[in-house]
Amino acid sequence: MTQSISVSQEYDGRNSQREASESSPLLHKHSVSKDSASNKSSVSKLPPADRGKAAWLFLAGCFLIEGLIWGLPFSYGVFQKYYTEHEPFSQNPHGIAAIGTTTTGLLYFLSPVAVLALQRWPTYRMLMTMAGLALITVSLLIASFSTQVTELVMTQGALYGVGGAFVYNPFIFYLDEWFIERKGLAFGILWAGTGISGTIMPVVMDWGLETYGFRVTVRAWAVVMFVAILPLICLTKPRLPVPAKGTVKPLHLSFFRNTTFWIFQVGNALEGLGYFMPSIYLPTYASFIGMSSRDSTLAVSVLNCASVVGTIMMGSLTDHLHITTVLLISALGSAIAAFVLWGLAMTRAMLYVFALAYGVFAGGYAATWTGCVVEVQRTSRNAETGVVIGMMAATRGVGAVASGPLSEKLLGLRPWKGPMVGAYGTKYGILCLFTGSTALLGGLGAIQRIRLWNADDEDVESIGEIRRTHEDVRD
């Protein structure tokens, strides 16, 4: 199903490019036959999708951009520990958790804004990407002069998140062009970039913060980001021709009336409320149970490294299993990790086991979005992959932003009294329960399987007709 739907999208993309070219005043000077021949020649010269040097080099470039953009917010636990323990931010630490969640939240939450703008005005995708890179660089440079937590929230948090959204999201569109049959695997590899970066960066940032301090480390990373991302933007190209200047494409948002879309969205939103809490508080909890600064940083690296395996695994599974099955695997694995492994973790070894398990099952949750898109496209044929993923990212962004202040409130609660086992006997026990509960609710999309079981014959026939139509287009 993934293959036939995606091929249809590629066919529609080529048609939209051809229609845009035919409407150009310059091309009206030529005959219709020459114009048609030119378009056919252009399509025949496209590099192959799903295979070949060009496709895999493109994916490698996207992987690096993903890691550079998302590596900083996903290793924020190291920064939080440093800000809490060092002046001037330790004097008034309220709101420190909101810095990281603001960055991550805006990267997610602004996805539909960026995606819709890029979809509507495709000619300006490169300009938007370059503007986003400039904003990221400036945000980090300004952040290095901060003396208050609120200044960090505005710079390292908000400005970085806005810039990152416009650098990152164009490549969601391009990836949809380059990979059709292996779309789930490709998106899994793309999102694995965050895990690799999140494995390396906590160690690097911890060393930088302890050796050179906050200001020098952040300034150095601003330079690294600019120097590394700029050539990648220039080298990572779309597969389909860029529309003529001034082209405005229609927006297809009819999937907002699709019940399937909202079932997946609700589960996605609930999962996002608790997903970020372990990565935020893992270093702090590790120090609480007596682990050294180096060992607590290593725990974050283990979690992020495991998420590499998780995203690739879950992405590949969406190409071979029904999405509801993959959602249940992720939800149950994440919940068990939070309830049992984190809840009982009072030693270094146990905490590492939790980080490993949670990284695999929860870290790969975003890779299920491509499978959700396939289900939405069953009944909303015009739904664009990038737009649907952008909407789901925005919903997770709400959870990311809310999880910062929400976690601070939860830590102030002690819903039980008396001795308890493991983390449940500490103030962090409530975080274990909340994270595990929201992870379970992330499997809510499994309801879609029940809806398919109850679908009448007419629905099944309609889905079969869609599949046959797409196969005809492919042939």
In this predicted model, what pLDDT tens digit does every residue of 203-259 receive, in sequence order?
889 899 989 998 999 999 999 999 999 999 887 888 877 766 656 666 778 888 888
Which residues are CB-contacts of 175 (< 8 A; sequence separation ≥ 6)? 58, 59, 62, 183, 186, 187, 190
End-to-end CA distance of the chain: 15
Q: Which residue is associated with the tokens 């389909």?
A: 240
Percent of the chain with pLDDT over 70: 82
346-362 residues labelled b (16+ CB within 10 A) or e (exposed): eebebbbbbbbbbbbbb
Is the pLDDT assigned to residue 79 strictly greater than 50? Answer: yes
Q: Does residue 232 contact residue 169 with C-beta atoms inside 8 Å?
A: no
- Report the candidate in 420, 408, 434 with the shortest Cα–Cα distance to residue 344: 420
- Report the candidate in 164, 194, 182 with the shortest Cα–Cα distance to residue 55: 182
More confident residue, 241 or 418: 241
Handedness of CA 109, 443, 5, 44 (dihedral sign): positive
Looking at residue 352, its pLDDT comes to: 94
Map 177-222 to HEC letters.
HHCCCCHHHHHHHHHHHHHHHHHHHHHHHHHHHHHHHHHHHHHHHH
Q: How many CA atoms lie within 13 A of 246 on its CB side?
A: 5
> CA 137 to CA 221: how far, in whole Å?
9
Q: Is the peptide bond before 88 cis (omega within 30 degrees of 0)?
A: yes
> CA 40 to CA 274: how far, in whole Å?
50
Percent of the chain with pLDDT over 90: 25
More confident residue, 164 or 180: 164
Looking at residue 449, its pLDDT comes to: 73
Q: Does residue 187 contact residue 367 with C-beta atoms inside 8 Å?
A: yes
Banded model confidence at residue 453, pLDDT cuts 50, 70, 90: low
More confident residue, 39 or 238: 238
Q: Does residue 78 contact residue 202 with C-beta atoms inside 8 Å?
A: yes
> CA 77 to CA 54: how far, in whole Å?
36
User: For 315-341, what is the mean pLDDT?
Assistant: 92
Task: Give the tokens for residue 132.
Answer: 């986003």
> CA 410 to CA 413: how far, in whole Å?
5
Least confident of 394-398, 420-424, 459-463: 459-463
Is the pLDDT assigned to residue 40 strictly greater than 80? Answer: no
More confident residue, 167 or 105: 167
Which residues are CB-contacts of 119 (< 8 A; sequence separation ≥ 6)? 173, 249, 251, 384, 386, 387
Any idea what the Cα angle at residue 172 is, between residues 168 and 175, rounded to 5°? 125
Looking at residue 245, its pLDDT comes to: 64
More confident residue, 234 or 321: 321
Task: Give the tokens for residue 117.
Answer: 């703008």
> CA 65 to CA 86: how far, in whole Å?
31
Listed in order, strand segments (DSSP E) in 308-451 are none
Q: How many CA atoms lie within 13 A of 82 on its CB side?
A: 24
> CA 199 to CA 290: how far, in whole Å?
22
The dihedral formed by the CA atoms of 362, 367, 373 and 376, expressed in degrees to the nearest 10? -20
User: For 100-115, what is the mean pLDDT?
Assistant: 83
Tell me the pLDDT tens digit for each residue of 288-302.
888 887 888 888 888
Which residues are CB-contacts of 395 (< 8 A; sequence separation ≥ 6)? 108, 265, 268, 269, 272
Q: Does residue 384 contact residue 119 with C-beta atoms inside 8 Å?
A: yes
pTM of the predicted structure, to 2 decimals: 0.69
